[in-house]
Structure 1
Amino acid sequence: MRRLLTSPLFRSVFAVASGTAAAQAVAFAFSPLITRIYGPEAFGLQAVFLSLISILGPAISLRYPMAIIVADDETDAQYLGRLSLMIAFVLSCLVGLALWIARGAILALLGAEALGSLIWFLPLALFFTACQDVSEYRTARLNNFRVFGVVTVVQACLTNLARVLGGLAAPVAGILVAVTSIAPSVQVALLSFGIRSRRIAKPPLGLHRARGLLRKHRDFPIYRVPTDVLNAASQSVPVILLTTLFSPVAAGLYSLTRSVLGLPLHLIGMSTGNVLYARFAELDRDGKALTPLLLKTTAHLLIVFPIIALIAWFAPPAFALMFGEEWREAGYYAQWMSLWVGFSISNIPSIRLAPVIKAQNLLLIMNIAILVIRVLAMVGTYWSGGGEMAAIAAFSLVSLFANAGLILAIIIVAQHHDTAAGRLKPASVK
């Protein structure tokens, strides 16, 4: 235990986890005030705007910011950051141009007609999201996770304070959307200030060097962008299918349950994801084996699975007490969904290792397969005469086994990667 608590990896995870938890506490503390200032319609429009960012955000920089961590040296890392911002600026301008040419048709296609003129914030929000990605991955590469934890809390305080003050002046959806759009730039400024002393002088970026870097890390736009878009779509599948096959009530119950169960997933994912990604990349550059850390961290995160499942067993009365008797049914959803959400925490190391071992094509194939079997599970349950609870159970079980398959596949690829590089002896690979 003493060795674990004093390890650099644990200290990095703790720095990010404490900052993320504190930021969530700040948001929770502000929420009663914010919900009394803004009406449900304003929050609904903000939710629509956030959904657009979650789907388009990964594509706006073609995921090149993630390549910063696996870059060969610090010069290449800074070049990749600059190239990512150039790509994001061009694509954000193209989004703005498309909105100027056919705003009505695009809003109808995205199902976001209610946003109206607020859609003009989208190009700005997408560009600032890319800037935030670059800053976060630069900070992770430098292992400056203490700064990241502090910045997360400060950003939460500033952005929620802006929502309150803006709402007191004009409690409209435009304020929420504007703050949401600008919020990433606050984190960019704070992180840039925190790591300012770690910059190095570098020669100008020539066209030949730029093309070489983009070509070398082309697996990010080719495989990672569609993977993340598919993952976002996969998260929306239950809501769409529950509404279409059963009722909007079932979709509402699922949405609340997913948001509650997603809190530990978000906290652990934020605190461990980039830390593990940076550590895997560092080990790979140093020529050390990656499989031992993958197995160790996966085993540690598997401990969370039975804990969440056990807590969810008492969810029905807890949901009725916290949210009202009409939400008791959501607690029964939670009993099944905890199996999927709890186990998915353990695949964080595998997903973060994939870019390091050049397995993003495998990640894409697995995400396509997961999306297909999730749809088939829910539709098959409906066709066989099952109700919404049976559909949730089927969705959760196939998601659990799909995540287990993803972890096993990455472990096998990681072992082959280490063996081929001479980091593991073939005899040691079980």
Structure 2
Amino acid sequence: MSIRKLAEKYKSIGLISSSLLVGAIITFIALPFLTRLYSVQDFGEYGVVLAVVSVLSTIANLRLDQALLVADDKHQKGLMFESSVFSLIFCIIFASILSFFFDAQMVLAICAGIFFNTLIQGLYNYKFSHEAEFFCAGLNILRSLVVVLIQLILPLMMSVTLVVSYSISSLFLIFILLIYILKQHLYQFSWYGVKNYKDFIFSNTPHALLNSFSHNLPYYIVSHFIGYQAVGFYSIVERTLRVPINLMSQTIRQFFIRKFKNQDSAYEAFKSSVILSLVSLPFFALFFIVPESLYLFIFGQEWIGISLYFKILALGYWAIFCNPPSSAFLIAKRKSSILFNLQIIELIVKILLFILAYQYIDHKIYMLLAIPISLIFYNFSILYMVWRSQK
């Protein structure tokens, strides 16, 4: 295959991956400055807000943003409208519920974040379905750039928390996206499109909701039992370690799904998973030898003790690298129910480990060991299911 044909074949993956990489680099470079502009408490509250936004965004628009990827052209603009309206109604209803648990600033940040996430994902999927990869790549970069710039600039002008700056960035981006959607007429007043895509509501939503809840459960546990200070440490470490994981899950899994769609090779999926896991192991092993002084130099003197968080999470995050080929194989072979079932078991294991650690370990920070143990269990259980399917 010529270089030209190869570049054309993987143009979509390359563009999206590059934009995600640029966004991740922008966020990562900004972290040392943000940790000096905002307190550990700020990062703790911000981490909880992002965790709630991540979970509720999966159901706010009834997964109609995903339907846009497969919808007929005549239904797409109607789905854009319906998705936005459902998300807005959801935010209004949940604002009253969330007010019993959080203060007004956090409720505003959560609702603004939910509506922004669903709006940008709907626009992204609409454009991606029309092969506008350059627009989608620019949207990824714009999102990261605006959020980071506002978080960096606002503290220089006024006394502001990280939660408030997140609210302002979300509202600003919502305004920009709505102007674009209205100007380009990317909507159509309709209530009929949703009837043709009910499967996204009833089959896609439970899996996405469970996955998001399980991933963000530590934020709720840590904030309730340990405090926002600990969540601040956890959020920084989690965001740092997930940079390569997020990039990988957006690209490598898509590649393997397409590959295994017409190739029935469980052995190839198993081998690729093992190789990825072994390749990633030295990278995560570095976090066990990096001195605390290096972390303090990067993040600031206020973050004493953050090295322990890196060690605990790195213990299990390396196992995620064996996931893309193995989970892609199961998805390609229409066996996603296996992933859902294993996710339920993983969530139960995680909760039980949290309870046991809280009961029997004095230093509550070690409750976080439930995360790497459950991650290793979940990802290698998927690998085992693929290996067993060879027989």
| TM-score between the two structures when normalised by the length of structure 2 | 0.74
Could you tell me which residue of structure 2 aligns to residue 133 of structure 1? 121
Question: Displacement of 1:45 after TM fit?
Answer: 5.9
User: 341, 346, 352: which is aligned to 2:317?
Assistant: 341
Could you tell me which residue of structure 2 aligns to residue 107 of structure 1? 99
Q: Is the CA contact 1:22–1:153 (under 8 Å) kept in the aligned structure 2? A: yes
User: 149, 153, 158: which is aligned to 2:141?
Assistant: 153
Could you tell me which residue of structure 2 aligns to residue 221 of structure 1? 201
Could you tell me which residue of structure 1 aligns to residue 25 of structure 2? 25
Question: Displacement of 1:371 after TM fit?
Answer: 0.9
Could you tell me which residue of structure 2 aligns to residue 235 of structure 1? 215
Q: What SS does structure 1 have at the residue aligned with 2:243?
A: helix
Could you tell me which residue of structure 1 aligns to residue 373 of structure 2? 397
Q: Give the CA RMSD over aligned residues.
A: 4.6
Which residue identity does 2:167 align to in structure 1?
V
Question: Displacement of 1:372 after TM fit?
Answer: 0.7
User: 246, 256, 279: which is aligned to 1:266?
Assistant: 246
Question: Displacement of 1:67 after TM fit?
Answer: 3.7
Pairs aligned (count): 385
Larger deviation, residues 17-26 vs 45-54: 45-54
Which residue identity does 2:217 align to in structure 1?
V
User: 75, 92, 96: which is aligned to 2:88?
Assistant: 92
The 1:296–1:206 alpha-carbon spacing in structure 2 relative to 1, beyond 3 Å, is farther
Which residue identity does 2:240 align to in structure 1?
V
C-alpha separation in 2, matches of 1:364 and 1:247: 31
Q: What SS does structure 1 have at the residue aligned with 2:58?
A: helix
Which residue identity does 1:61 align to in structure 2?
N
C-alpha separation in 2, matches of 1:131 and 1:382: 39
Q: Which has the larger radius of gyration?
A: 1
The 1:123–1:332 alpha-carbon spacing in structure 2 relative to 1, beyond 3 Å, is closer
Question: Displacement of 1:151 after TM fit?
Answer: 3.5
Q: Is the CA contact 2:260–2:329 (under 8 Å) kept in the aligned structure 1? A: no
Mapping 1:197-212, distance limit 5 Å: 207=192, 210-211=194-195
C-alpha separation in 2, matches of 1:384 and 1:245: 14
The higher-RCO structure (CA 8 Å, 6+ apart) is: 2
User: 354, 376, 383: which is aligned to 2:352?
Assistant: 376
The 1:320–1:161 alpha-carbon spacing in structure 2 relative to 1, beyond 3 Å, is closer
Question: Displacement of 1:164 after TM fit?
Answer: 5.5
Question: Displacement of 1:344 after TM fit?
Answer: 1.2
Q: Is the CA contact 1:261–1:338 (under 8 Å) kept in the aligned structure 2? A: yes
Question: Displacement of 1:91 after TM fit?
Answer: 4.2
Q: Is the CA contact 2:53–2:111 (under 8 Å) kept in the aligned structure 1? A: no
- Structure 1 residues not aligned, in runs of 5+: 416-428
The 1:249–1:13 alpha-carbon spacing in structure 2 relative to 1, beyond 3 Å, is same
Which residue identity does 2:355 align to in structure 1?
V
Which residue identity does 1:24 align to in structure 2?
A
Q: Is the CA contact 2:127–2:136 (under 8 Å) kept in the aligned structure 1? A: yes
C-alpha separation in 2, matches of 1:360 and 1:18: 28
Q: Is the CA contact 1:84–1:130 (under 8 Å) kept in the aligned structure 2? A: no
The 1:20–1:395 alpha-carbon spacing in structure 2 relative to 1, beyond 3 Å, is closer
The 1:407–1:138 alpha-carbon spacing in structure 2 relative to 1, beyond 3 Å, is farther
Q: What SS does structure 1 have at the residue aligned with 2:99?
A: helix
